[in-house]
A and B are shown apart, each in its own frame.
Chain A
Amino acid sequence: MGYDLAFRLYPYAPVAAQGMAAQRHPVVIVGGGPIGMATALDLGRKGTPVLVLDDHEGVGQGSRAICFAKRTLEIADRLGTGGAMVDKGVVWNVGKVFHGDNKLFEFNLQPEDGHKNPAFINLQQPYFEKFLVEEIRRAQAEGAPIEIRGKHAVTDVVAEDDFARLTVVTPDGPYQIEADWLIACDGARSPVRTAMGLSFDGRVFEDNFLIADVKMTADFPTERWFWFEPPFKNAGQSALLHKQPDDIWRIDFQLGWDIDREAELDPVRICERVDAMLGQGVDYELEWTSIYTFQCRRMEAFRHGRVLFAGDSAHQVSPFGARGANSGIQDADNLAWKLDLVVKGLAPEALLDSYSSERAHGADENILNSTRATDFLTPKSEISKVFRNAVLELARDHAFARPLVNSGRLSLPCVYDGLPLNGPDAFEGPARTRVGAPCVDAPLDQGFLLDRLPGAFTLLTINADMPAPDAVDGVALNRLALSTDAHDPSGALRERYLGAAQSAVYLIRPDQHVAARWKAADAGAVGAAMRTALGKEPPA
């Protein structure tokens, strides 16, 4: 599928391999969207050579994703580019919910103090992708073995037992490539998935959403406004107004199922709708418009031998709750360290099965959340509409009904509860930092905790001293020794990691998820938990 570019970042260039017999690469990524680029950056920074093939020369026009959640920013920060995103992005806290003409309530997200990153930002997807590619360029300059080939489209994939064979088409004709490992980050329509004949089942929602991104300098507050049954003409069943950088506003209209796409995309008709919403005399320009329908579905398994699926190719959700790119970035975060260790011969291939089980668990949670939001927005029966409107009516006067109003739950990272890489959770510590959870940020005497967890295994001790190996079976183990007296001026570290305990030892994975925790541990316990986290031995 062709599309116009917002940024031309990797122009086509012929490569020597086009005239040679198939070259073998350790890792090939098909698709240079946000997930492919994040995975490439993470792998490359760890020193594993990676080749990205994209069928375009840069980032597509049109913002698509606009809401990027804190966990995504934390991962981007670990990759070196979070700061650029937060600087460019719009931070908002206030949301207002309307039903027809009535304002039902407003909420203030008031994010918890003591985190380096905001709860989320609004940022156009093309910027998000551009910042990732710019960071790849920096990494390349520092010697990271990453190569991007623009306009090298993958047209066929044959998966062998221990490698994959790819056919790549370029403006100068086709050539072959072999990959020890192939990561398909080629989007919801995934040609790789199709070539391998794998299914992608789920639920299609019978609804159409019109997006109009408009540029205006009007004085609307930086808030998220959401209407159920909007009062303005032809606005459909719901509408959304939300600010992005560069004076761009996202406007979204829920149009229903039986529409004439062509006619609805006519700029004259779109402007009528936008005029009715914004009121008279507001000056704006249409920046990007699109109509989309959506589905919630996922692949059975995200690993098929030497082929791994990540991002939209593996799972697709409705946009409500902003879980598409946000969950895909967590795929990248989960996959990169595992594949890196497998490629380097430091972990068994079976470790990659945990990528599939952990991220399928995440996908199920995201699908559940976005399905629920969708059912609230588009009631499926007469009685579900009666209940939906009852919630809205009650929400105006009664606080109890407000949490039932669902216009999308913001993306939170998933906790890998009960999954095979988890080691012992050996004390009654705070629930939010339990085994399987991503580490919660906390301010230290200098900087933030997550800045000290830079993508390798880390043994974090708080008020606990213990001899610890600096590697287990050849895999490096960083050491971070903190004490609440010296390093925890705000008390957040104690609250988030100790609870009532006086000391704690946390084994933390390269993706900053907790692998095991104890009040106190010895080197034997740490080594065993680390082997469990490497997919080598079942938990004790």
Chain B
Amino acid sequence: MTLILTPNIPDPDGFYDELLALHDGLSKEESDALNARLILVLGNHIGDRDVLRQAFEAAKPPPEDG
């Protein structure tokens, strides 16, 4: 399977809102913990190690120019 890197989320603005709302009122530490839990939950849902590896690649910081 290939990682989907084209738009795939219906109502992107709504999704983004919900994601940010999740962090409302949390300290930096709590937010970090929440993000980590979220990654683990999503990772498990995907399950496919190959797709996950492609996602890790896609998420890496872009190489510096020059």
Contact = CB atoms under 8 A, between A and B. Distances in A.
A250 to B, nearest CB: 31
B44 A387 contact: no
A400 B44 contact: yes
B40 A386 contact: no
A387 B32 CA distance: 9
Interface string A378-415: 00000100110111011000101100100000000000
A110 B2 CA distance: 38
A386 B44 contact: no
Interface string B23-58: 000000000110011011100100000000000000
Most buried by A among B32, B33, B36: B36
B40 A404 contact: yes
Nearest to B36: A390
A391 B32 contact: no
A386 B32 contact: yes
- Size category of the B interface is under 10
Contacts of B32: 383, 386
A394 B33 contact: no
Chain B binding surface, main DSSP class? helix
Nearest to A395: B40
Contacts of A390: 33, 36-37, 39-40
Nearest to A389: B33
Contacts of B33: 386, 389-390, 393
A390 B41 CA distance: 10
Contacts of B37: 390, 393-394
A497 to B, nearest CB: 30
A507 B59 CA distance: 49
A393 B39 CA distance: 13
A377 B44 CA distance: 21
Contacts of A387: 36, 39-40
A433 B36 CA distance: 39
A391 B40 CA distance: 8
Nearest to B32: A386
Contacts of A383: 32, 36
Most buried by A among B32, B40, B44: B40
Nearest to A404: B40
A400 B47 CA distance: 11
Contacts of B40: 387, 390-391, 394, 401, 404
Contacts of A401: 40, 44
Contacts of B39: 387, 390
A310 to B, nearest CB: 35
B55 to A, nearest CB: 16
A391 B41 CA distance: 10
Nearest to B44: A400
A495 B39 CA distance: 38
Contacts of B44: 400-401
Nearest to A403: B44
A401 B37 CA distance: 10
A394 B37 CA distance: 7
Interface in A345-395: 383, 386-387, 389-391, 393-394
A401 B33 CA distance: 15
Contacts of A391: 40
Nearest to B29: A386
B26 to A, nearest CB: 13
Nearest to B45: A400
A390 B33 CA distance: 6
A404 B32 CA distance: 19
A393 B37 CA distance: 8
Most buried by B among A383, A389, A390: A390
A389 B33 CA distance: 8
Nearest to B38: A390
A354 B51 CA distance: 37
A391 B44 CA distance: 12
Nearest to A384: B36
B39 to A, nearest CB: 8
A71 B58 CA distance: 42
A404 to B, nearest CB: 7
A383 B36 CA distance: 9
A401 B41 CA distance: 8
B64 to A, nearest CB: 21
A115 B43 CA distance: 36
A383 B32 CA distance: 8
Interface in A268-323: none
List of 9 A-B pairs having minimum Cβ-Cβ separation, nearest first: A390-B36, A400-B44, A390-B37, A386-B36, A387-B36, A386-B32, A394-B37, A390-B40, A390-B33
18 contacts: A383-B32, A386-B32, A386-B33, A386-B36, A387-B40, A390-B33, A390-B36, A390-B37, A390-B39, A390-B40, A391-B40, A393-B33, A393-B37, A394-B37, A394-B41, A398-B41, A400-B44, A401-B40
Given A386-B33, A386-B36, A404-B40, 6 more contacts: A387-B39, A389-B33, A390-B33, A390-B36, A393-B33, A393-B37
